[in-house]
Amino acid sequence: MAEEKSFYMTEEGKAKLEQELDELKTVRRPEVVERIKVARSFGDLSENSEYDAAKDEQAFVEARVAQVENMIRNAVIIENDDENSDVVQLGKSVKFIELPDGDEEEYQIVGSAESDPFEGRISNDSPMAQSLLGKKIGDQVTVQTPGGEIDVKIVEVF
């Protein structure tokens, strides 16, 4: 059997997944079962779009339950290393300026399971995070992005 993938996440990220799993099992799953039961009562299942839709939703819910359970089972909690407070690491936030225009950006580097770029949380697997990890305050870094190279200077790690 292949080795299972580890999912790096914060304690907060794991708690959100546990909450989602509880919601899926205690709310969504019973709702879908009820929809299937009601749709069955409509008669002929071969031409019953409500039944088909409910079965599709059941498949989605069950797949998501399995996915979230796997992520929780293989969770690796990110511990902050206070000794290297000026080094960009998984779980820390980093503020940098783009060179030469000086646009400032700030991201927290998290595992892929809880990344959300719109909320300022980027995956440790992303090109940006890969370029920043292990660097220190004051370092200039060239980041390969889908849109081309950008140069950034790290100004704060917290």
Q: Give 2's pLDDT tier (boundaries 50, 70, 90).
A: low
Average pLDDT of the chain is 90
Q: Is it the case that residue 157 has pLDDT exceeding 60?
A: yes
Instruction: Walk me through the domains of the chain, giving residue ranges and CATH numbers.
Output: 7-77 (1.10.287.180), 87-157 (3.10.50.30)
As a whole number of angstroms, the distance between CA 108 and CA 122 comes to: 6
CA dihedral of 28, 122, 90, 75, whole degrees rounded to 10: 20
Q: What residue has token string 């090109």?
A: 127
Cβ-based neighbour number of residue 79 at 10 Å: 11
| pTM value surpassing 0.85 | no
* Closest C-alpha to 101, from 50, 62, 152, 144: 152
pLDDT score of 113: 84
The pLDDT tens digits for 49-75 are: 889 999 999 999 999 999 999 999 999
pLDDT score of 58: 97
pLDDT score of 62: 97
